[in-house]
Amino acid sequence: MLAVLSPGQGSQKPGFLLPWLDLPGAEARLRWWSALAGVDLVRLGTTADADEIKDTARTQPLLVAAALLAAEHLPGAIPSGHRGSGLYDVAVVAGHSVGELAAAALAGALPAESAITLAAVRGREMAAACAVEPTGMAAVLGGDRSDVLSAVDDHGLHAANHNGAGQIVVAGASARLEKFAGQPPAGARVAILQVAGAFHTPYMAPAEQALATVAAGVIPADPSKILLSNLDGAPVDHGRELLQRLVRQVTAPVRWDLCMHRLADLGVTGVLELPPAGTLAGLVKRELKNRGVPEIVTLKTPDDLPAARDLIARHGRVPRHEPTMQFRVVVSASAGIFEPAAGLAEGDPLSAGQVIGHVATRQGPVEVGAHDDGVLTEWLAHHDDPVAPGQPLARISGSPL
């Protein structure tokens, strides 16, 4: 099983997009996306210096554009302007912070243009929220996790990023951060980060409200891949819920640790990180070292495309004799008890959106629907089976490829 990851803010480097502009149509695509984002993505990705691309308002659309530009050169990609799953051999997608917008586009929930536009609004509004009062972030490395979180609370700070591998990024008022750094938890090192403000905390509430206003005009589709949420590491099945989570994530902590654990739970064997690649690959290697590290390819320049395509070929769907059938797995969005739809049996035809069952939860039944037309090939869960979020429930075959 293959997962594609999209990195977040802090992974960018000056000139990292320069080699990508040699590919046919790449510069034109970036010019178009620049018009949507209101910033010059070509210049930012090629000649801008480190200070300029550190600006939140510029960095966020740049990162989403970089990931989507590279993904367009992978097998099964769908051209910009079209909504669809694309990357047919990829089963799982996830993104760190603003990278979730790129992941949503790769999952077919948002057109690339919507992802770029939302990233631009998100970046501008978060930059504006940073200017309201002096805030910042600090990386905490090592120490006992419970001790670190207790100290964070004691100092009136927030755990903004749970990055796994012994790393937690805390955020809050600058004065409190400095005091925290001077009194680190036992066994931990604290490093103040050069960022504009306290991202993923209540300090970003004005940005969340502004993004919600724009996002209300977006019509999402249901993801057609397993799309992991930064909120809790759980797959998101419904487009409207996804959009709500993307907005909420502006003030909510990034639980990248839970996303990585979900990769292992799902049995992911191959990971491809999109540009600017490297940061997430390192976290996966360290966090999953005791659970079996998947094979990882970091897609940094077009020179890495052959390795990326090879990874997709080997860790995507198992090659079959012609004609090859396209399979999709429907997963549970919630924990509860699964109940298949009455009268629905293996071999029955399905239409997109058809309810194939529901999961009984404490809050009530949650419907489970087919993402596309196809045939119910195999039940992976049965009547009264307890299921967890992200657990496969059924396999659906589509048309021959």
- What positions carry a catalytic annotation? 97, 200
Q: Which two tokens stand for residue 383?
A: 């009547």
> Torsions phi, psi of 287, nearest 5?
-75, -35
**Residue 71 host element (H or E):** helix 56-71
376 vs 373: CA distance, rounded Å: 10
Residues 133/111, Cβ–Cβ less than 8 Å:
no
Task: Return the exposure string of 226-243: e unless at least 16 CB atoms fall within 10 Å of the residue's CB, then b.
Answer: bbbbbbebbbbbbbeebb
Q: Which secondary-structure segment (H or E) carries 179?
A: helix 174-182
Distance CA 234, CA 242 (A): 11
Q: Determine contact, residues 285/297, Cβ cutoff 8 Å.
A: no
Phi, psi of 356 (to 5 degrees): -105, -5
Alpha carbon 84 to its chain centroid, in Å, reads 17
Contact (CB, 8 A) for 113 and 80: yes
Instruction: Choose among 380, 253, 387, 258: nearest CA to 333.
Output: 387
Give CA–CA dist 331/334, Å, rounded. Answer: 9
- The residue with tokens 């501008």 is 124
Provide the 10 A C-beta neighbour count for residue 300: 18
| Helix (H), strand (E) at residue 398 | strand 392-400
Which two structure tokens, joined as six digits, stand for 11? 């992974």
Structural tokens at position 267: 């049995």
